[in-house]
Amino acid sequence: MANHTDQYELKILLCPRCNAAALKRSVGRQKGTGPLTCLQCAASYPVVDGIPQLLKDPSLFTHLESMDYDDHHNIDDERREKVARDWKKVFDRHGSVYGDVLEIGSGTGQLTWGLSNRFPFKSVHACDISTQFLLKAAGVVGKAGAPVSYYACDANFLPFKENSFDLVVGHSVLHHFIDYKKIIFHLERLLRPGGQAIFYEPVLQGKMLIAFFGDLIRRIERRTEWGVLDEKDDARINHMTRHIMKGKWIGNDRERLEKIEDKYIFDINEMRALAHDAGFISMEHSNLEMPEKGYRHYFNQHLLMEGLSPEKIQQFAFIANAYESTIGEMTPADVVTPMGYFVFRK
């Protein structure tokens, strides 16, 4: 069983229906199993295996539940350790406070495990739309680290009082939400003064360079008829080059966006403007690491991430060499990695 709600959690919770801070735990046969009831509007929210069901719309679900998520995304103990190490670099770089932390879109616990087991947070709160994922996360996190409080809720309607958290984090989740701008506005209110909201997300400026390389590969392949790429390789590169502006092509077509899991790739300048509009003091973009081995290394590493084999990438290495000879040597200031961290500071 996941850990049950305690009095501290009740103090920060709001009723999803009426938005009142009036939730009370009802008595169940076992500790933590009774529903939460709103004393103001009488709404009742069940607690399933210790996880309060605080969805404003109980019919909401994620298509990701239909797959073996961890297996599909190669998430294992080694991956969770690496994610924790990467986030520590970001926390250290930006002076994050190890107080009360909320993770949104926690999924099966890829980041949650590290928040509980590798950092000295005062309290850890994890929410996701999927109770199934949260139960898996609770099993992965275990009892060795800091206790984690789990909530089934929609990121568009986070049921928490203002000024409840020092830090809000999300690992590759914001691009799944149609109304991500609304979420950013709401998070500014949930954070205490000086708090941060940090998201690890796809970055338009980084994706564009890789897409540029990918497009050149496809053009050269078609004109020379080398036959280096098979159909799967061509499909990967085509997806990579066409995907970068998907959210902009679709615009505000909610019906089409709802059918797509990976909805957006974020422009750094637009995110800075969003931070300003939402009331944050600043928004800083942070690469996971600063590449120091030139454009060829950058080219190789990120095409590997897209699924091309080292042997096939080697056939096109001259593209990166020609780019570097024209542009000059890579410096940290020149590079934006395809995935990076957006750090909103209140």
Q: What is the CATH number of the domain that holds 47?
A: 3.40.50.150
Single pTM value for the model: 0.85
CA 142, chain centre distance (Å): 22
Contact of 126 with 106, CB cutoff 8 Å = yes
Range of the domain at 222: 204-255+293-329
C-alpha span between 135 and 338 (Å, rounded) = 31
Q: Are residues 52 and 192 in the same domain?
A: yes
Tokens linked to 289: 């690491």
Residue 15 lies in a domain: yes
| Number of CB atoms found within 10 A of residue 72's CB | 9
Q: What is the pLDDT of residue 336?
A: 80
Low-confidence ranges of the chain (pLDDT < 70): 1-8, 27-33, 59-67, 69-73, 242-261, 289-293, 330-334
CA 174, 176, 181, 186 dihedral sign is negative
Q: Are residues 49 and 158 in the same domain?
A: yes
- DSSP β-bridge partners for residue 341: 200, 286
Q: What is the pLDDT of residue 2?
A: 47
Q: What is the pLDDT of residues 257-277, one digit of tens each?
A: 566 667 788 999 999 999 999
Tell me the H-state helices in 25-76: 69-72
Q: Are residues 297 and 228 in the same domain?
A: yes
Q: What is the pLDDT of residues 152-170, one digit of tens each?
A: 999 999 999 999 999 999 9
Q: Are residues 230 and 195 in the same domain?
A: no
Contact of 111 with 87, CB cutoff 8 Å = yes
32-68: burial string, b at 16+ Cβ within 10 Å, e else:
bbbbbbbeeeebebbbbebbbbbbeeeeeebebeeee
Residues in Cβ contact with 289 at an 8 Å cutoff, skipping those fewer than 6 apart:
89, 337
C-alpha span between 25 and 313 (Å, rounded) = 58
Query: What's the total number of domains in the chain?
Result: 2
Q: What is the pLDDT of residue 345?
A: 98
Q: What is the pLDDT of residue 244?
A: 62
Q: Are residues 47 and 103 in the same domain?
A: yes
Q: Are residues 31 and 162 in the same domain?
A: yes
Contact of 237 with 302, CB cutoff 8 Å = no
Residue 276 lies in a domain: no
Residue 233 lies in a domain: yes
Q: Are residues 125 and 145 in the same domain?
A: yes
* Residue whose C-alpha is closest to residue 24's, from 337, 15, 310, 130: 15
Q: What is the pLDDT of residue 30?
A: 55
C-alpha span between 67 and 72 (Å, rounded) = 7
Residue 32 lies in a domain: yes
Tokens linked to 80: 């969770």
Residue 30 lies in a domain: yes
Q: What is the pLDDT of residue 5?
A: 47
Contact of 158 with 104, CB cutoff 8 Å = yes
Residue 250 lies in a domain: yes
